[in-house]
Structure 1
C-alpha cells in the first residue's frame, strides 16, 4: 500500500509542499519569523518545517508561527482593541512573567512619559497531531511514495484541555488588569472548542469580553496564485474567563443510567 505524501503534507516553510522538497537548500528559513524554523520532532534532528497538513481534505495549521503571515497587529487594532486604537502601537514579543506564563506578543500604547497606557496580549495556537506525519515528510523529501500504513490524526482534546485552562487563567488576569487577551486560532479548532464548551459569544470590543478569539482560515492566495494559500482573517468573537470556566466545568452531564450500566458490566466481569 502506498500513498502520495502530498495528500498529507500541505506546506513546508510556508510553501506548497510540492514546491519545497529540499528545505535544506532554503536554509530552513521560516518566512514568517525571518529566521531558522524552530519546529522540532523527537524522531529527527534539526528543523521539522511542516507548517500545515491535510486531514480529511481540510488544511490544518500545525505550527503557530504560521499565523504570522497575517497582519495580526492590524487585525487586533481593527477588531479587538477596546475604544480608539493607538496610532503608534508598540509591539513586544514573547512577554513572560513568573506566575503568568508567556504570551506570543503584546500590543501596547505608551503615553508621553513612555509608560504603558493600555495593552492587549496575543497568543497563537495551532492544533496538535496524534501519531506522526514524519514518514510522509521524509517521503516528500525523497520524492517517493509513502509505503505502508501511516497513522495520524488531530489531537483536538489535548489542545482543548490544556489551552482553555490557560486562557481562563490569563483571561482572569487581564480582567483585573483592565485589558484583554486575544487567542488566534484557525476556524476548525474554534469549532471544536464550541462543540464541547458552550461559552457566551460577545462583542469582542465590549468591556465584558476579556478573552477574544480572533479566527483565521486558509484561502487561496490571490497575489501569488494557486497552489499558494494564506491564512486570512474571518471573524473575531469575544467571551469572558467566567463564561469559559463555567462552560468547561458545568457541561450537561452524561446519562446516569448508562453509567450505572457500565458499573454493573464491570462488576459482572469480576
Structure 2
C-alpha cells in the first residue's frame, strides 16, 4: 500500500475525486495553479505529494509540502490578533515572498487602508524535508488508483525518510536571523509548523523558556497544527494545537547562536505597499 496520503491536495482515499483529471492537470488547489514541485529529471511532471505516512506502527500523516498549510486561509486568520494596529474598515491582504535580511519571508498578513500599509505580520511556513525520494510511493498510489505511469518506479525498494534534525535546526537558525529584523521595528514574526515538528524541536532544543500559552508582546510566535481526518470523506484538515512565543534572545538561547539583522521600517513598508493589490486581498474560504 502506498504511503502517500494526499496527492495534489486530495485525500488518497477519496471516492469522489476524478483522479485521472487531477493527475493530468497537476493543479495545486491551494495556490490555484500548477504544483511547483517538479521532477528534476522531467520538469514537465509535477510530483504533487503533499502528505505521507511515516513512523512506527501505526504510522502517522506527516506534511512534506509547506503550501499544504495555507488551506482555507486558517493560518492567516489565526494571526489576526497579532495585527495590533488593525482597525475596522481596513483591508486585509496576503502578500507572498517579501525580502528581508537573511532571505525572504513566505507571507505577510497586511492591514491596509486606502492602499497604505497600517500594520503587518510576517508568516513563515515549515514542513518536514525528506531524505531519499517519495516518487516510488507516489507511483504506487497511481497504480492503486488504476492510473497509467510513465515509469516503473513503483517497483523500487528504496525507502524515504524524514530529515528531522536538519529541518528543525535550519528553520530555527533562519528564524533567529529574521526575527531580529521584526523585533527592531516592533512587529511580529510567526512560524507555522505541524505539531509533530514542534514536538521534535521541543525535545531536541532548549524550549523550556518559551511562553505557553503565547504572549502577545513577544516578537516570535510559533503556531503548531494537528492534521487529522475530518468528516466522512476522509479528508484531512488542519487544527490549531499549540501557540508558544519568545523573542530573538529566546531563539538564540535555544540554538546558542548570535547573529544580527536590521532593516528600516520604511523600506519594508515600501516593499509591502508595492505588492498589495486586488489580487492579494485576503478571501478566507
TM-score range, shorter chain: 0.7 to 0.9
Q: Distance between the aligned counterparts of 2:98 and 2:196, measured in 1?
A: 28
The answer to whether the 8 A contact 1:184-1:213 is kept is: yes
Provide the residue aligned with 1:231 in structure 2: 238
Provide the residue aligned with 1:262 in structure 2: none
Higher RCO by CA contacts (8 Å cutoff, separation 6 or greater): 2
**1:210 aligned residue (211, 219, 222):** 219
* Residues 28 and 242 of structure 1: CA distance in aligned 2, closer, same or farther (over 3 Å): same
Q: Distance between the aligned counterparts of 1:182 and 1:166, measured in 2?
A: 12
Q: Distance between the aligned counterparts of 1:159 and 1:22, measured in 2?
A: 33
Runs (5+) with no aligned partner, structure 2: 147-152, 258-285
* Residues 76 and 122 of structure 1: CA distance in aligned 2, closer, same or farther (over 3 Å): same
**1:59 aligned residue (54, 58, 61):** 61
Provide the residue aligned with 2:25 in structure 1: 27
Runs (5+) with no aligned partner, structure 1: 251-270
The answer to whether the 8 A contact 1:22-1:141 is kept is: no
- CA displacement, residues 200-233 of structure 1 (integer Å, 9 cap, x when unaligned): 22253432x21111111112223xx232111122
Q: Distance between the aligned counterparts of 2:203 and 2:131, measured in 1?
A: 20
Q: Distance between the aligned counterparts of 1:123 and 1:77, measured in 2?
A: 15
Provide the residue aligned with 1:157 in structure 2: 165
Give the TM-score normalised by structure 1.
0.80
Q: Does 1:197 align with 2:197?
A: no
Q: Does 1:171 align with 2:179?
A: yes
The answer to whether the 8 A contact 1:91-1:108 is kept is: yes
**1:246 aligned residue (232, 247, 253):** 253
* 3-state SS of paired residue (1:217): strand
1:140 to partner: Cα distance: 1.8
Q: Distance between the aligned counterparts of 1:249 and 1:138, measured in 2?
A: 42
* Residues 129 and 22 of structure 1: CA distance in aligned 2, closer, same or farther (over 3 Å): farther
RMSD: 2.4
**2:7 aligned residue (8, 12, 17):** 12
Higher Rg: 1
* 3-state SS of paired residue (1:236): strand
Counterparts of 1:23-172 in structure 2, within 5 Å, are 25=23, 27-45=25-43, 46-56=45-55, 57-70=59-72, 71-78=74-81, 81=82, 83=84, 85-87=86-88, 88-97=90-99, 99-111=101-113, 114-143=115-144, 146-147=154-155, 149-172=157-180
The answer to whether the 8 A contact 1:82-1:205 is kept is: no
Size of the aligned set, in residue pairs, is 239
* 3-state SS of paired residue (1:195): helix
The answer to whether the 8 A contact 1:82-1:206 is kept is: no
Provide the residue aligned with 2:263 in structure 1: none
Q: Distance between the aligned counterparts of 2:166 and 2:6, measured in 1?
A: 23
The answer to whether the 8 A contact 2:8-2:28 is kept is: yes
Q: Distance between the aligned counterparts of 2:22 and 2:84, measured in 1?
A: 46
The answer to whether the 8 A contact 1:89-1:107 is kept is: no
The answer to whether the 8 A contact 2:54-2:62 is kept is: yes
